[in-house]
């Protein structure tokens, strides 16, 4: 009886193991590189907000690599004035996706993150107001006044 119980438990563990392997192969639980490539091309060539939103989901919800999204977020913010991408730049630059002990906030990265937060507000992102109030309880500067860039020669 003892061996029969152990055998049944082993069979159940193997069955569960096989089920979890099948779930991992499912396209909804895995990042498909072909889809990523297609979304990236649409973002780069047309500023497609739907493609950007899919990229954002793939890199932040289905993955632990949100910093891979930074280039596309900056492009969507700077070139296409997409407010949600600006807010995403703020989150990535502030490393909100990392546990507290892995964060390393240097002053330059901090300033760039705040710049994108201000841009998000200027482009109409209502969610940005919550974060802006945390940084600027009194007066909200414009993004252009906050981050002064030196002109290139």
Residue range 82-129, pLDDT digits in tens: 999 999 999 888 866 665 555 566 778 888 899 999 999 999 999 999
Region at 124 (left for phi over 0; alpha for psi -120 to 50; beta for the rest): left
Report pLDDT digits (tens) over 17-55: 444 444 444 444 455 777 889 999 999 999 999 999 999
Three-class SS of residue 43?
A: helix
- pTM of this structure: 0.70
Q: How far apart are CA 108 and CA 76, in angstroms?
A: 21
HSE of 118, CA atoms in CB hemisphere, 13 A: 17
Q: How far apart are CA 68 and CA 49, in angstroms?
A: 17
């Amino acid at each position: 009886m003892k061996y029969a119980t152990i055998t049944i438990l082993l069979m159940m563990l193997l069955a569960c193991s096989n089920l979890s392997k099948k779930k991992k192969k499912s396209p909804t639980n895995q990042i498909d590189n072909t889809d990523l490539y297609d979304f990236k091309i649409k973002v780069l060539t047309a500023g497609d907000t739907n493609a950007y939103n899919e990229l954002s989901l793939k890199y932040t919800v289905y993955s632990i690599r949100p910093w891979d999204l930074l280039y596309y977020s900056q492009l969507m913010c700077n070139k296409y004035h997409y407010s949600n991408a600006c807010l995403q730049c703020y989150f990535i630059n502030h490393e909100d996706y990392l546990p507290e002990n892995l964060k390393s906030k240097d002053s330059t990265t901090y300033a760039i993150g705040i710049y994108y937060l201000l841009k998000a507000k200027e482009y109409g992102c209502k969610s940005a107001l919550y974060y802006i109030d945390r940084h600027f309880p009194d007066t909200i500067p414009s993004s252009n006044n906050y981050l002064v860039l030196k002109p290139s020669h």
